[in-house]
Amino acid sequence: MDNKEKDFVLLKGNEVIAKAAIRYGYDGFFGYPITPQSEVLETLAADKPWETTGMVVLQAESELASINMLYGAGCTGKLVFTSSSSPGVALMQEGISYMSACEIPGVIVSVGRGGPGLGTIQPGQADYHQAVYGGGNGDYRTIVLAPNSVQEMGDCMGKAAKLTFKWRVPVIVLSDGMIGQMMEKVELPPFTPRRTEEEIGQQCPWATNGIGLKHRKYNFMSSLEFDPQTMEDRNQKMADKYRQIEAEEVDYELYKVNEDTEYLIVAYGISSRVSMKAVDLLCEAGVKIGMLRPKTLWPFPNKAISQLSERIKSILCVEQCEGQMINDVRLATEGQATVYHSGRSGGMVSSPTDVVEDFKRMARENLSKNWPKGYWMK
């Protein structure tokens, strides 16, 4: 099919989240308005999916309620999601811990803004720790997907739906205000019908929905254990699952990385878009630089970064915060390459030239050690 014939639409990242969720057969959405992601609920409310696919949409009284609605719905085997931004996602941390403890599927879209506290409503990536390490209590992990385009915002909703049921772990789609607010050309996915109650009954025998109760023991969802040994057993079972996810679900993308690459940028989300242009500018100037973009932040592409670190000079980690993912990048290098930070924070976003300037500073520092002067600008 000719591209001109395809049904491309121009949409905001937030709008695509909503429209893609309807099309991927999500059963419900529960959320509370917060800038810069309010278009998710607004779009759902305007599109009225309850009249077409039967998807439930509810404006909750708080993010606390939203995440607990997600928990309840997930317990019954339904595919549901919520969406919020930094301070709102902070309120959800307890619920995410509970969902993890009971191994409940659910998708949380986090459209980051500047923080901490109420912060700003401009784009930010200071919630890497919040998403990847979590603010809830206990030994748990959540899969974190990091889209970097409006199209990927939609794609991630499909991917998250699959992963959250495959592994029974909550999946966070970590985006930022810029990808949420910007418009790009998008191709929406075809409609997938929502699962019927019978299908849920067959696919989710663990779910607490009463289905088939006469022929089985009752199900219950609880994270409370009085016996520490039982709790440890549960934790170890979850840890085994997490190791398996780490082995199977890592996803990343390389840009202009080849055998001659001497410098590497590691960036995700909006920073990877900005950095892509910086890489183009630097390559034009003769610098041998490429970019690795994690598409999953947990599991993190440790192996890929470790292998590249063996042969590159240094790494510039670009993120719109004062340095969070940089710690994971440093760990991944296993000490084989020096990692430098580049990025703004509080709602400010680097431009490609900002990244180029930071690269120059990094290169100079490298040069001062044992590199010929002016190397980076042949």
Residue numbers 175-234 binding another protein by CB under 8 A:
177-178, 181-185, 197, 207-214, 217-224
**CB atoms inside a 10 Å sphere around CB 231:** 16
Structure tokens at 41: 């609920």
Of 89, 276, 287, 317, the one binding another protein (CB under 8 A) is: 276
Nearer to another protein, 71 or 298 (CB): 71
CA–CA distances in Å: residue 34 to residues 69, 231, 239, 297 = 18, 36, 34, 24
272 closest CA partner among 293, 258, 254:
293
The least distance separating another protein from the CB of residue 88, rounded to whole angstroms, comes to 15
Does 1 bind another protein (CB under 8 A)? Our answer is no
The least distance separating another protein from the CB of residue 276, rounded to whole angstroms, comes to 4
Instruction: Determine the Cα angle at 224 with ends 223 and 226, to 5°.
Output: 145
Of 15, 27, 127, 152, the one binding another protein (CB under 8 A) is: 27
The least distance separating another protein from the CB of residue 310, rounded to whole angstroms, comes to 27
Select from 70-78, 157-165, 282-290, 336-344 the region that touches another protein (CB under 8 A). 70-78
End-to-end CA distance of the chain, in Å? 44
Of 157, 173, 257, 349, the one binding another protein (CB under 8 A) is: 349
Compute CA 206 distance to the chain's CA centroid, rounded to the nearest angstrom: 26
Rounded CA separation 94/81 (Å): 16
Nearer to another protein, 121 or 304 (CB): 121
The least distance separating another protein from the CB of residue 220, rounded to whole angstroms, comes to 4
Of 24, 30, 81, 376, the one binding another protein (CB under 8 A) is: 30
**Strand locations in 268-325 (E):** 289-294, 296-298, 314-318
Rounded CA separation 244/100 (Å): 16
The least distance separating another protein from the CB of residue 330, rounded to whole angstroms, comes to 25
Nearer to another protein, 198 or 369 (CB): 198
What is the chain's length? 378
Residues 6+ positions from 194 with CB-CB distance below 8 Å: 25, 26, 27, 53, 54, 55, 79
Does 353 bind another protein (CB under 8 A)? Our answer is yes
263 closest CA partner among 192, 321, 190, 314:
314
Query: Given the DSSP bridges, would you call strands 8-12 and 183-187 parallel, antiparallel or unpaired?
Result: antiparallel
Q: Is 112 helix (H, G, I), strand (E, B) or coil?
A: strand
Select from 52-60, 83-91, 332-340, 364-372 the region that touches another protein (CB under 8 A). 52-60
On whether the CB atoms of residues 222 and 75 are closer than 8 A, the answer is no
The least distance separating another protein from the CB of residue 69, rounded to whole angstroms, comes to 3
The least distance separating another protein from the CB of residue 369, rounded to whole angstroms, comes to 30
E strand or H helix that includes residue 295: none
Count of residues interacting with another protein (CB under 8 A): 69
Q: Which residues bind another protein (CB under 8 A)?
A: 3-4, 8-10, 27-28, 30, 35-36, 56, 58, 60-62, 64-66, 68-73, 75-76, 78, 80, 94-95, 98, 121-122, 177-178, 181-185, 197, 207-214, 217-224, 270, 273-274, 276-278, 280, 349, 351-354
